[in-house]
């Protein structure tokens, strides 16, 4: 029976991967609804619907609550901090890494493979933790609950910081003249696809995105919390995941979404949350 469920899981995962690759190859982003339908299909096919909803309901409710709350930060955007991150990056490197990287690597007329890769890594911000959570859940429900708890403590710790210290990303600083103009590479890349808007979570149509949640970078934090739990689960899997973490960190700086110090603070928040909770859960 175990071999049967393993075979079913592999076939289902293969089907989902095929659909995703097919759609992306034809320049169609997966919408939030399509991703959800594929996930529900997998759960139904495996036959663990009741257990799934029992374990994931708090996870989903916390996620939706957080997404709604982050729209509130737009109201404090007028007091957003801009110069501190610029000054810190300049103190460390002598220049703003985003500006340097884009001047060396980006050509708006001719997009390179790494532009697409960086954008894909950026857009997988929420998908990868959910996939990791599903993997942990399929292996050990107790371990999954620990991961989910750490994930959301990290999210809400960042949210409180955004209220206290709203921070503008490089692309906003560039548009206001604090630094040289920053190219919106994500927008340029996604404009090459047929259905760019469909990819972004539907919840933003109600809450709105948050342009002043740069410090700490959750784009840097989420891959790292996945790494910590993966490494705790399997050292080989954790080590294999390191290139993804570093790739995301590089991408958010190159794309103009975060400063280097944002990434450092995201990593620091993650480390503190994991160390504290690892001793208590």
pLDDT for 136-183, tens place per residue?
887 888 888 888 888 888 888 888 888 888 888 998 888 888 999 888
Contacts of 155 (CB under 8 A, 6+ apart): 62, 66, 218
CA distance 27 to 143: 36
Place of tokens 């604090």: 178
Contacts of 203 (CB under 8 A, 6+ apart): 64, 67, 68
Burial 132-146 (b: 16+ CB within 10 A, else e): bbbbbbbeeeeebbb
Q: Averaged over 110-139, what is the pLDDT?
A: 85
CA distance 149 to 59: 8
Does residue 213 or residue 148 have the better pLDDT? Answer: 148
pLDDT for 67-101, tens place per residue?
565 555 555 555 788 889 999 999 999 999 999 99
Does residue 215 or residue 48 have the better pLDDT? Answer: 215
- pLDDT the model gives residue 175: 87
Q: What is the mean pLDDT of the chain?
A: 77
Residue 198 reports pLDDT greater than 50:
no
CA distance 278 to 37: 33
Contacts of 228 (CB under 8 A, 6+ apart): 238, 270, 274
Q: Which two tokens stand for residue 57?
A: 């309901």
**What share of the chain has pLDDT > 70, as a percent?**
64
- pLDDT the model gives residue 115: 87
């Amino acid at each position: 029976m175990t071999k049967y469920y393993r075979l079913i899981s592999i076939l289902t995962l293969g089907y989902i991967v095929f659909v995703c690759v097919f759609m992306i190859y034809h320049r169609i982003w997966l919408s939030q609804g399509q991703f959800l339908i594929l996930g529900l299909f997998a759960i139904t096919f495996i036959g663990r619907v009741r257990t799934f909803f029992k374990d994931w309901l708090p996870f989903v409710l916390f996620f939706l609550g957080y997404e709604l709350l982050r729209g509130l930060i737009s109201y404090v955007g007028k007091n957003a901090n801009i110069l501190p991150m610029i000054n810190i990056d300049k103190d460390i490197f002598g220049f703003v890494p985003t500006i340097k990287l884009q001047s060396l690597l980006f050509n708006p007329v001719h997009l390179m493979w790494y532009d697409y890769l960086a954008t894909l890594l950026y857009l997988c911000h929420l998908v990868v933790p959910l996939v990791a959570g599903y993997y942990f859940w399929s292996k050990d429900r107790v371990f999954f609950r620990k991961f989910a708890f750490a994930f959301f403590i990290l999210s809400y710790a960042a949210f409180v910081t955004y209220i206290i210290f709203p921070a503008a990303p490089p692309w906003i600083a560039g548009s206001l003249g604090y630094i040289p103009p920053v190219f919106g590479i994500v927008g340029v890349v996604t404009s090459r696809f047929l259905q760019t808007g469909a990819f972004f979570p539907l919840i933003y149509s109600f809450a709105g995105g948050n342009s002043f949640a740069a410090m700490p970078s959750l784009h840097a934090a989420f891959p790292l919390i996945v790494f910590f739990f993966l490494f705790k689960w399997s050292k080989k899997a954790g080590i294999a995941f390191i290139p993804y973490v570093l790739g995301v960190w590089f991408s958010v700086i190159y794309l103009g979404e975060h400063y280097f110090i944002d990434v450092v603070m995201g990593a620091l928040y993650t480390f503190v949350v994991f160390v504290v909770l690892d001793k208590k859960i």
